[in-house]
Structure 1
Amino acid sequence: MDTADEAIVELLKRDGRLAHREIARLSGLPRSAVATRMHRLLSSGEVAIRGVVHPAVSGRGSLAYVGLSVDGCAVPVASRIAERDDVSFVSLPTGHHDVVTELRAESALAIDTAVGELRAIPGVRAIDTVPYVEVIRDVVGPTGVLHHTVDATDLMLLRALQENGRASYVELAGLVALSPAGVRRRVVRLVEGQVIRIGALVRQSGRDHQVAMGLGIRLAGDHRDVTEALLGMPAVSFLARTLGRFDLLTTLRSFTPGQLTEALEAVRSLPGVHGVESWSHLRFVKESYASTHLATSLATHLPSNLPSNLGG
């Protein structure tokens, strides 16, 4: 990627459904150049536009970061973990652990069960689990408390947007037997209601030179000032409050090692940061935040006094 590609990707991270003309206006690039570059990025697989649904939609509101120490080669262990449906990402990192992964399950008990199953994988020597208290910024997905339920039509739209976040309203209308205008209203309400967030995911292909680093942060006091400062950093793609070894867990992403180093130094210098442990993600074995359990009714997971649906 060059700087023009990077500018387009940054805009698509914020809103994966931005029109070519809007990207051209915001980036200063000709509209024809935006269309050509986007086609290349998407068709090459370097960038994917996905809709990521709020964890409550699938009843998976309990999350934990898990680091595994492995005897022998780590790739077979990472590949086996990546097959699990309750795993959103798997990475081969530098540092203390040989494999790191994130579990997303319906409860703390389900997380505990999953950790036990990971521990039983041949080759796994030890496991370090860091449960999340609150996800403040997700890689793509929405965060916070969900205040809407969805109906069967919404679920069909959510599934389609998980596969292709830039699917046209005409294409989506063909799936749900509504007019394109009706589909547009639903999608807008789903996005504004934080049921789904649609954005760009950049693949670590070895060609784009994107680099990613995980940070475990220990605080000297309250988290609020530090989290606010971290949210203001463009390199911070993920941020969660956690229990255990760290008070905050974050992921930094950049297109150059120099930019990543600057971001790391900025984190270390924040008032209130007591210590930082870092590790580089050398290879993402899995990075998928789409849920396969969207057929489950939200009535199982959310209070019954919430709105019945988002309208049509």
Structure 2
Amino acid sequence: MRPAIRSVAPHGTTRGHDPDALDAALIRALQADGRASIHELAQRLGASRDLVAQRLRGLTGAGGLRIVAALDPGFVGHHLLVHARAEVDGPVGPIAREIAEFPDAVFVSMASGPFPLVFETRHGDSRELLEVLDEVRRMPSVRRVLVSTYVEVFKGFFVSHGRNDVALDRIDYELIAVLQQDGRTSYRELADTVHLSPSSARARVHRLIDSGVIRISAIQSGGISRNRLAIGVGITVSGDPDPIRRYIMESPDIDFATRAHGSFDFIATMVGSSPAHLLAVMDAIRSLPGVSALDSWTHYDVVKEDYARTLGRVLVQG
């Protein structure tokens, strides 16, 4: 259960609650519903509207928080999602930045460990995947690349609860394009952009969300900060995978998780403010029935995290 914020103190702090804890609770609420109003967020967190608005401004400013719409990968024809780790001889930054320029790359990170480059790509078929992997392997400083294919993404930013068949028109595409830049754009601004009434814009956005075409949620830029540590884990299974899946689904410390085949059977990302706490989470995973091995890597610098780039293909096809 989320700890209640009992009352608001002067100077932008909360009595009985650390501001970092308030920010973490606010981020969780926005991950669940990126378009929740300030009033709804304040009620959920037990804080004043002014304080919640102030913390949100700080998070979306210098804090690097983005609240954006992500397209369901299947909607844009991306049925092959891949996680890769590369062993690099020499500086990692130039290789990371080069891979970040790939149109099929949606996530690129410089990380700890013997594979200091982590990236995620999306493809329409295996031929596209092989072309990207061949291009990475041709880079002179890349020693080897270990690949896992996502079988099912069951927890994460762009995961919807199911996608229904829905026909979209040009207005829908225009709304999605705006929401991919700022998921909290007001209905009045959306309406002005597509020349509709605010009520019509609202109805269209709700249809896009309810049908599973988009999900509006909060994502944070970068890896390590004063109050945020992001750790990737790869889990190898030797028994029943169900207890592992249940633990991951119920854990508030795991933001992203997928079933995979290749290097790992599960891949997940843990996020928290305390290294000691995340270490305890890893130990809890290791103790689960069916876990035979667990690898981990810390995300030092997320070079790219962009789930919006695929809309261009839809517009071209439309």
Task: Report the Cα offset of residue 294 of structure 1.
Answer: 4.0
**Which residue of 2 is the match for residue 174 of structure 1?**
192
Q: Which moved more, 1:27-36 or 1:272-281?
A: 272-281
1:291, distance to aligned residue in structure 2 (A)? 2.5
* Equivalences for residues 1-312 of structure 1 within 5 A: 2-138=20-156, 140-143=157-160, 146-149=163-166, 150-204=168-222, 207-296=225-314
Identify which range, 275-284 or 288-297, moves more after superposition.
288-297
* Matched AA of 1:181: S
- Structure 1 residue 234: deviation in Å? 0.8
Structure 1: state its 5+ residue gaps.
Answer: 301-312
Displacement of 1:273 in angstroms is 1.5
Contact preservation (8 Å) 1:90, 1:287: yes
2:109–2:299 CA contact under 8 A, matched in 1: yes
Structure 2 distance, partners of 1:68, 1:263, is 25
RMSD: 1.9
Q: Deviations over 1:210-265 (max 9, x none)?
A: 11111111112232332122110011111111112211111111122122112212
After TM superposition, the score normalised by the length of structure 1 is 0.90
Give the distance between the partners of 2:162 and 2:212, measured in 1 at CA. 9
Paired-residue identity, % = 34
CA deviations over 1:35-65 (Å, ceiling 9, x no partner):
1111122122521111111012322221111
Q: Distance in 1 between matches of 2:252 and 2:231?
A: 14
Aligned in 2, Cα 1:37/1:145: closer, same or farther, shift over 3 Å? closer
The alignment covers a number of residue pairs equal to: 299
TM-score with structure 2 length normalisation? 0.88
- Which has the larger displacement, 23-32 or 124-133? 124-133
The 8 Å contact of residues 66 and 129 in structure 1, kept in 2 or not, is answered as yes
| CA displacement at 1:111 relative to structure 2 | 1.0
- Aligned residue for 1:148, secondary structure, equals coil
Instruction: Assess, with a 3 A threshold, how the Cα gap between structure 1 residues 278 and 147 changes in structure 2: closer, same or farther.
Output: same
- Bigger drift between 21-30 and 197-206 goes to 197-206
Contact 1:57–1:294 (Cα < 8 Å) also in 2: no
Change (3 A) 1:144 1:69: farther
**Counterparts of 1:129 and 1:115 in 2: how far apart (Å)?**
9
**3-state DSSP class of the match of 1:289?**
coil
Match of 1:310 in 2: none
1:148 deviates by 2.4
